[in-house]
Structure 1
């Protein structure tokens, strides 16, 4: 058994009936590379059974301490039932891409059973009607609680289920498993009470050091959220969310984003991705006559490079960048975003947020549980008055090489992320095998037309790509080091903080205004597209 840390425990405490911390990973496969050209549900079930021992996540359930006297524990589930966690379903007619997105959103919206290991796998068959998928293609949806797996930091579930070769690894039959007996709840409560009594002495040092750094951090965050509310416009996505979700996706070539970044000197692939998200959000709100005159903003995770290497998970923080949605010219918007992500002031903001997070890591369990629930309730009102951001853009990294499930090649990888009150729109950016997939997740009431939003993303990307292709190409100088090398991983979207970086001169990044996108409204363009493949 092992105990949750403060960060993971807060994800459990903050769950509510209409907003939980589930993450759903979507994988689609071409079975033609598998032995016999087909993969049955029974083979997938046997494959998962052989992989269970690779990670304790699969067989561990949550055990909460009475009265929240201490953080919860992961304990082995004596009644573990693999067939409960791995399920087989088929798409309803007509079985197209829209039905797939609806089914995935419904699966994601259902809360996980906290009395069992916090994951479920859904094998979805009958994907033959998708435009570009071969016969007998299937999907595997892996739903897992964010407290169990850090998908931004490493995506453990996808790594454990797959191989790098189409030849299935012969692992033999599953090893015998003998679960440990769970602790007696009374003993667990006594241990938690003793831990709470020792807590003031244990956290005195870390808390004192954190408090010494919190004064400037508190001033920075408070001034951003309360003293300058005019910089934080409110949109439809800053209201209370319902239990229902919508999901859509668009897939792009990584090489296209490398061409787009060339529109602005020094820009990175991550800047180009954020610019596409910003352009899509601008187009969508504009089509509903709801675009604010001020810049919208996005929250994004940042990997702190000076984090403690002894930690099981890399230390993450969050930064907020303005998206330049008030700028009509897409190249000027990209330059504006690059100035935000390269700014040392933006990095300082991420460090301020980390100070608050580090203080919470030392909080007693009971206090953290109460604070997490209070913050979740407070977000319902704060989001409409002083929102932290307009949306979130988060990254779920994937490998640069093809992966295989029991011999079937994975052709598509994306994610559905959790949303919350006051933050009803999240962009999941996934990278895999030379592709980048941008997948917005939202509340169904706030985004009743996800296919229109997805078309806005496609139009935003196409506009930037046409400008990049029209730009005269210069011969590359040998002495110049590219910002992203030829093999730079595309999984660094808003995740890498570089201390000491400074913003380039905005005047040098100006470009003439240009309009190359289609002039039809996004709803009309989305309606004319055939429903179908994830490669749209």
Structure 2
């Protein structure tokens, strides 16, 4: 009987979670009028087989049995996971943000599958919200968005339910403890053999010297950046259990105009916007930002080939295929174009570095260690002094998406807070717009809605500079 065991990374997310450090991720979708709670339940019920682990919960194991495992939940209840709510009149953005803030401050129940969906009526203009959160242990890179199966790329109405037949789901029995322990022992033996082979390769100058030297050098570079850490800032304080959430948006074309005028990537422009907006917030609070560089943690997707000669062997991603790299975030008052050019240079340097290889070595090292070391390695990666702000930018579909024939109009993601960093920003493009989900600690980011306003202002300033640059170029 196969054992569905959590990865080293996923099990570390479970161990690191506390009442103040929540390990769930998700987002808010806002739909045009017409989406009904019953429709969401029907679509998910019909498509839940396509959602990996939606009916599985985590079961802890004996220390000898290795990491926790996924097992079918014999008491799975869809109505527990898909909930119905409504905002009072007028259902504005402030009320919505307050409601979502409370949902984000609640841990998921470990005794059940690690996800929840809320269908929210009463939004302004009769629109409907759908908020979802999923534990990081479930929402890994291999599966992508666990609830992408809900959305269609065309507007199709639900078929009548009369006469429909849905096959009953029967949970599998969990594997016996003896099987779980035997597999864990076999995995440990296999890892030991792999480690021995790695030592032989390293001792062979024809095979391992260059590889070992490159890995060691990149690991030292990564550790050096982590030790240097981040400067003290008003955004770094001990986290409370509570959160605040706000939203901001702009036209994707505005960012493309900036890219056409000054070069770089959309991600460079987003980092520049965030740096400007955070600086504006700090100065609005009365803090000095002269010559201040904060540290931003930017997740980067990695696809590294390992094993055999360069370019040969299996394609391996690190953890869920994403590693975090540190980048300077200039928040001082400065020319917005100069800020963008500086960020472009810094990000280009990070792409050319070998930090991703170093992170891969750290993940594989954790794989040989007992559960206590898994948590220690994850704590190193989430060290309190490592960064000031977390920023994740992921492109989304540019064609409209629909749920039960209802148009998804807006889509705001969020990522959790970690360490003592009280602010995270998640950014996604969708259907010609860019959406910013701003998550903050409730005590530290009491003015997070103001930060959303500053994001909008920062985009407008860069766009104006870009239009001037393009106009001057046409005149020359």
TM-score in terms of structure 1 length = 0.77
1:22–1:145 CA contact under 8 A, matched in 2: yes
Q: Secondary structure at the match of 2:408?
A: strand
Q: Choose from 367, 371, 376 the match for 2:376.
A: 371
Deviation readout 1:145-198 (Å, 9 max, x if unpaired): 1111136x7743342111111114659543322211012346534543564466
Give me the whole-angstrom Cα distance separating, in 1, the residues matched to 2:378 and 2:158.
Answer: 45
Q: Choose from 32, 57, 64 the match for 1:61.
A: 57
Once the two structures are TM-superposed, the CA of residue 451 in structure 1 deviates from its matched residue by: 1.3
Matched with 1:507 is none
Query: Against the structure 1 CA distance between its residues 312 and 78, is the aligned structure 2 distance closer, same or farther, given a 3 Å change threshold?
Result: farther
Residue 355, structure 1, aligned to residue 355, structure 2: no
Query: Against the structure 1 CA distance between its residues 447 and 472, is the aligned structure 2 distance closer, same or farther, given a 3 Å change threshold?
Result: same
Q: Secondary structure at the match of 1:400?
A: coil
Matched with 2:308 is none
Matched with 2:279 is 282
Matched with 2:6 is 4
Once the two structures are TM-superposed, the CA of residue 470 in structure 1 deviates from its matched residue by: 2.3
Matched with 2:292 is 294
Query: Against the structure 1 CA distance between its residues 310 and 267, is the aligned structure 2 distance closer, same or farther, given a 3 Å change threshold?
Result: closer
Query: Against the structure 1 CA distance between its residues 204 and 211, is the aligned structure 2 distance closer, same or farther, given a 3 Å change threshold?
Result: farther
Give me the whole-angstrom Cα distance separating, in 1, the residues matched to 2:330 and 2:25.
Answer: 29
Q: Choose from 427, 430, 433 the match for 2:428.
A: 430
Q: Secondary structure at the match of 1:296?
A: strand
Query: Against the structure 1 CA distance between its residues 53 and 164, is the aligned structure 2 distance closer, same or farther, given a 3 Å change threshold?
Result: same
Give me the whole-angstrom Cα distance separating, in 1, the residues matched to 2:443 and 2:37.
Answer: 35
Give me the whole-angstrom Cα distance separating, in 1, the residues matched to 2:16 and 2:468.
Answer: 49
Map 1:404-443; keep pairs closer than 5 Å. 404-443=402-441
Matched with 1:330 is 336
Matched with 1:200 is 192
1:196–1:364 CA contact under 8 A, matched in 2: no
Residue 29, structure 1, aligned to residue 34, structure 2: no
Once the two structures are TM-superposed, the CA of residue 284 in structure 1 deviates from its matched residue by: 0.7
Query: Against the structure 1 CA distance between its residues 310 and 173, is the aligned structure 2 distance closer, same or farther, given a 3 Å change threshold?
Result: farther
Q: Choose from 137, 140, 143 the match for 2:130.
A: 140
Map 1:43-442; keep pairs closer than 5 Å. 43-67=39-63, 69-127=65-123, 130=124, 133=125, 135=126, 137-150=127-140, 155-168=144-157, 173-185=165-177, 187-189=179-181, 191-192=183-184, 195-196=187-188, 199-205=191-197, 215-226=216-227, 228=228, 232-264=230-262, 266-292=263-289, 293-307=291-305, 308-309=314-315, 315-326=321-332, 328-343=334-349, 347-360=353-366, 362-371=367-376, 375=380, 379=383, 383=384, 387-442=385-440
Once the two structures are TM-superposed, the CA of residue 353 in structure 1 deviates from its matched residue by: 3.1
Once the two structures are TM-superposed, the CA of residue 92 in structure 1 deviates from its matched residue by: 3.7
Query: Against the structure 1 CA distance between its residues 236 and 312, is the aligned structure 2 distance closer, same or farther, given a 3 Å change threshold?
Result: closer
Deviation readout 1:358-383 (Å, 9 max, x if unpaired): 432x233424344257549x94xxx3
Hey, which of these two has a bigger chunk of strand by percent?
A: 2
Query: Against the structure 1 CA distance between its residues 291 and 320, is the aligned structure 2 distance closer, same or farther, given a 3 Å change threshold?
Result: farther
Structure 2, unpaired ranges of 5+: 203-207, 306-313
Query: Against the structure 1 CA distance between its residues 459 and 436, is the aligned structure 2 distance closer, same or farther, given a 3 Å change threshold?
Result: same
Give me the whole-angstrom Cα distance separating, in 1, the residues matched to 2:71 and 2:32.
Answer: 36
2:31–2:128 CA contact under 8 A, matched in 1: yes
Give me the whole-angstrom Cα distance separating, in 2, the residues matched to 1:169 and 1:311.
Answer: 38
Structure 1, unpaired ranges of 5+: 32-37, 477-536
CA RMSD for the aligned pairs? Answer: 2.9
Once the two structures are TM-superposed, the CA of residue 117 in structure 1 deviates from its matched residue by: 0.9
Query: Against the structure 1 CA distance between its residues 68 and 116, is the aligned structure 2 distance closer, same or farther, given a 3 Å change threshold?
Result: farther
Give me the whole-angstrom Cα distance separating, in 2, the residues matched to 1:94 and 1:237.
Answer: 32
2:140–2:320 CA contact under 8 A, matched in 1: no
Give me the whole-angstrom Cα distance separating, in 2, the residues matched to 1:125 and 1:119.
Answer: 20
1:320–1:346 CA contact under 8 A, matched in 2: no
Once the two structures are TM-superposed, the CA of residue 356 in structure 1 deviates from its matched residue by: 2.0
Give me the whole-angstrom Cα distance separating, in 2, the residues matched to 1:168 and 1:204.
Answer: 58
